[in-house]
Amino acid sequence: MLLVVVLTATLSLLAYGAGWAYRTYDADPAAASDARGGSGTTDRVDADRSRGEGAKPSASAPEREGTPGGRARPDAPGDGVSPSDGSSSEDGSEDGDTQPSDRTSNATDEPTMVAGPALFAPGDESDGVREIQARLRQIDWFNADVTGYYGDVTTAAVSGFQAKRGFPVTGEVDRRTLVRLEEMSTEPTDAELANQLGGNTPGALDPRCSTGRVLCIDKSSNTLRWVVDGTVLTTVDVRFGSSATPTREGEFSVEWKSRDHVSSLYHTPMPYAMFFSGGQAVHYSSDFAANGYNGASHGCVNVRDEGAIATLFDQVQVGDRVIVYWS
């Protein structure tokens, strides 16, 4: 009987001790890990944390989405570590927060550029518009005759100029557009405003050039003037054939046109060719543009201003008269 009582008491003490140890491990995992010799969860988490801060992951680790070679981003949590430990990132959001921040930084916002009141706009006609056209032509935005009328060609030129500089594209000239245009160009000369684009001084117009549509070509001043009903619209420098292949004189008409013509006789380019007498034509000459009057044509009327002859080519029609004369 005494032996039974002793065994019962011993078993009770052992059961009590086992229950106390279980409660201690459950309340303190670190102590439980220490009790198991330090080989528990904490060591694995520490190892994973080290790997997440830049160590090369093992071959079995899956690549992290959006990062080359599976490397974690510097601001990404390590594998196996909770994405949020209560700390905050530089922008104030918690680490691992996958929701985009509602806050925006005023420091990176740029003010929206707004167009100012129009100083010149489509439909206007004035000397001011004439000057704007001449300035745009100086910097190759306006490839037409200066007229003083603000039409579609001027609107397109202004829009292109504005877009190139990051201005609001309105096609209208406001103060910002005008100031920049004036900075990039020079005060137009009287010759520019009158579409006298060459450096030669024209002689007197031949009386035959006073009516209708005429290419009036003056051998005395080496100039060509495009004249409509007695009004000179364009003036350009020209050169002629040598004494061996002279340019014919007299009254002719434009027989045919060829924008990208190549001479079948000399195998040389003759862009914007307007033929008026057999094989003789008014056309652009790159040699004239490069060498000036240190040379001659094979009888054609050479023009050295490519922009001017391109515009002229579009305006002149088959049948328009051509007068070649000495003033």
3-class DSSP state of 164: helix
Domain identity same for 212 and 316: yes
Does residue 217 fall inside a structural domain? yes
Domain identity same for 182 and 240: no
Q: What is the pTM of this model?
A: 0.48
Does residue 55 fall inside a structural domain? no
3-class DSSP state of 1: coil
3-class DSSP state of 245: coil
Question: Can you give the pLDDT at residue 102?
Answer: 46
DSSP tally for the chain: helices H, then strands E: 9, 9
250, 283 contact by CB (below 8 A): no
Give burial (CB, 10 Å; 0-12/13-18/19+) of 73.
exposed
Does residue 300 fall inside a structural domain? yes
| Domain-terminating residue out of 165, 193, 221 | 193
Whole-angstrom Cα distance, residue 146 to residue 126? 11
Give burial (CB, 10 Å; 0-12/13-18/19+) of 191.
middle
Whole-angstrom Cα distance, residue 169 to residue 146? 22
Structure tokens at 150: 């603000």
Domain identity same for 220 and 319: yes
Mean pLDDT for the chain overall? 77
| Domain-terminating residue out of 193, 219, 242 | 193
Q: Which amino acid is at 70?
A: G
Buried b (16+ CB within 10 A) or exposed e, 179-190: eebeeebeebee
Q: Tokens 């019962």 correspond to what residue?
A: 8
Does residue 317 fall inside a structural domain? yes
Selected residue with higher pLDDT from 145 and 68: 145
Domain identity same for 283 and 254: yes
In which band, very low, low, confident or very high, does the pLDDT at 14 lie, cut at 50, 70 and 90? Answer: low
Selected residue with higher pLDDT from 229 and 189: 229
- 227 pairs with which residues across the strands? 214, 232
Structural domain count, the chain: 2
CB atoms within 10 A of CB 167: 18
In which band, very low, low, confident or very high, does the pLDDT at 58 lie, cut at 50, 70 and 90? Answer: very low
- Residue 136: domain span: 127-193
Question: Can you give the pLDDT at residue 184?
Answer: 93
| Domain-terminating residue out of 149, 164, 193 | 193
Q: Which range has the worst mean pLDDT, 16-20, 76-80, 159-163, 302-306?
A: 76-80
CATH number, domain at 253? 2.40.440.10
Residue pLDDT, tens place only, 78-104 = 444 344 444 343 343 333 344 444 444
